[in-house]
Structure 1
């Protein structure tokens, strides 16, 4: 019985198989559009659709004016999700060991978007401190994070700016403890979505490629949300590791 899959999917599957088997190695150029058209008796649109599938899955990336090449899908590292690590968006193990890690952050007070307000248990439009982080290894962007904290909690204190002042870079728990707020737990939701053009350009992937989004919220001992954040990484380059300790 013949293959009933759409031609574009058959092209994508067979190229993916060649990549997985090592026949097409990282950095190798994929067959040109004209070569694929001849081999599969396909149209330009069909071949282009197959290549878009490979790009979205992280198997290929285009180089302007040169062609499409096999992408490096080796995991960059692991995001550690342990009791000691969830406080920091960049609790990571990177490959190779010894990679230089750094981040940049900008903070601005904004009205809380509806979705953020719901996560923080406040009203939409209430003021929050929004901090956007860009994390880098050897000066190359690896992941993004956006954090929101209610200004009703931090305004007028030394911790209102997460990355400025005497408690900069202390993490949510350390900063909140400095103003008498005891953070006792964090909850995380892990999901996925496709990369925007801007995210793809910065993270070195293709628009539409799958990203992993980790939504984390910190709570104090009264079960009040005191911070919520989103961490965004390339799904094809990062693994999530959850360490679960059982206690009596």
Structure 2
């Protein structure tokens, strides 16, 4: 029985297999358009479509004036999620192939805004109620690692020393440390992990193509009354970073 796959898909699948098996190594130039046309008796449009599929899957990238080359798809490392990690918008520890990537720096900006409906639902407040939105960009050795957006209800922090996560006497102490300073005891956090295509701004910040797969962690902190006091979206490149969870067992 003949191969029923479209020709562009067959070309893309064959190239992926060669990359996975190592006959096309990282940094190798994939066959040119003319070579692929000749091998598969395909048109320019079919070959171009196959290469676009390969690029979208993260297997290859174009270099202007040189051609299309196999990319390094091996994970750079792991972002550890633990009881320490959930206190801040980034992992408590990074394990990476390149030790230079284990040092994090970040930039943040905060602004007051009205809670969008999905965020209001996560915080248990009414849509449009005031929240402080803080956007973070994390770098390791100048490489983009992670994006995070955090929302906190202003009914909890407004007018206090902890209203801004990056300013004041309790800056950069994490959700638990900051809120403890105003008498709010954070007792648990919940994380939901999913994936989706990267938006154009996310792709530009993380150094990948728009539409590439990103891992998204939706994290929410709760106080002793089970009230949500903060919620965040954490975004990392799915092809470069894995999430590592430390799960201690209590006897």
Please give the alpha-carbon distance, in whole angstroms, between the structure 2 residues aligned to 1:241 and 1:114: 30
Q: Which residue of 2 aligns with 1:54?
A: 54
| 1:169 CA drift (Å) | 1.1
| 1:208 CA drift (Å) | 1.4
Mapping of residues 6-17 of structure 1, within 5 Å: 6-17=6-17
Q: Which residue of 2 aligns with 1:88?
A: 88
1:188-228 Cα shifts (integer Å, max 9, x gaps)? 11111111223223222222111111110000010000000
Picking from 155, 160, 163, the partner of 1:157 is: 160
Name which of structure 1's ranges 27-36 and 215-224 shifts more when overlaid on structure 2: 27-36
Please give the alpha-carbon distance, in whole angstroms, between the structure 2 residues aligned to 1:89 and 1:75: 21
Q: Which residue of 2 aligns with 1:139?
A: 142
8 Å Cα contact 1:33/1:48 also seen in 2: yes
Size of the aligned set, in residue pairs, is: 248
8 Å Cα contact 1:80/1:86 also seen in 2: no
Please give the alpha-carbon distance, in whole angstroms, between the structure 2 residues aligned to 1:165 and 1:94: 33
Please give the alpha-carbon distance, in whole angstroms, between the structure 1 residues aligned to 2:106 and 2:125: 29
Name which of structure 1's ranges 130-139 and 24-33 shifts more when overlaid on structure 2: 24-33
Please give the alpha-carbon distance, in whole angstroms, between the structure 1 residues aligned to 2:66 and 2:111: 41
Please give the alpha-carbon distance, in whole angstroms, between the structure 2 residues aligned to 1:40 and 1:197: 33
8 Å Cα contact 2:100/2:141 also seen in 1: no
Please give the alpha-carbon distance, in whole angstroms, between the structure 2 residues aligned to 1:129 and 1:65: 46
Name which of structure 1's ranges 194-203 and 217-226 shifts more when overlaid on structure 2: 194-203
8 Å Cα contact 2:100/2:140 also seen in 1: no
8 Å Cα contact 1:211/1:232 also seen in 2: yes
- Alignment pair present for 1:187 and 2:190: yes
Q: Which residue of 2 aligns with 1:178?
A: 181
8 Å Cα contact 1:144/1:231 also seen in 2: yes
1:65/1:155 Cα in 2 relative to 1: closer, same or farther (>3 Å)? Answer: farther
Please give the alpha-carbon distance, in whole angstroms, between the structure 1 residues aligned to 2:43 and 2:202: 30
Instruction: Calculate the aligned-residue CA RMSD, in Å.
Output: 1.4
Name which of structure 1's ranges 131-140 and 26-35 shifts more when overlaid on structure 2: 26-35
Please give the alpha-carbon distance, in whole angstroms, between the structure 2 residues aligned to 1:206 and 1:37: 26
8 Å Cα contact 2:113/2:130 also seen in 1: yes
Picking from 89, 92, 99, the partner of 1:97 is: 99
Picking from 201, 206, 220, the partner of 1:198 is: 201
- List, as ranges, runs of 4+ consecutive aligned residues in structure 1 with deviation greater than 3 Å: none
1:28/1:207 Cα in 2 relative to 1: closer, same or farther (>3 Å)? Answer: same
TM-score, length-scaled by structure 1: 0.95
TM-score, length-scaled by structure 2: 0.93
Give ranges in structure 2 of 5+ residues lacking alignment.
none
1:119-173 Cα shifts (integer Å, max 9, x gaps)? 1011111111100000001112111110000011011111111111111111111
Mapping of residues 19-30 of structure 1, within 5 Å: 19-30=19-30
Please give the alpha-carbon distance, in whole angstroms, between the structure 2 residues aligned to 1:65 and 1:114: 47
- Alignment pair present for 1:3 and 2:30: no
8 Å Cα contact 1:78/1:238 also seen in 2: yes
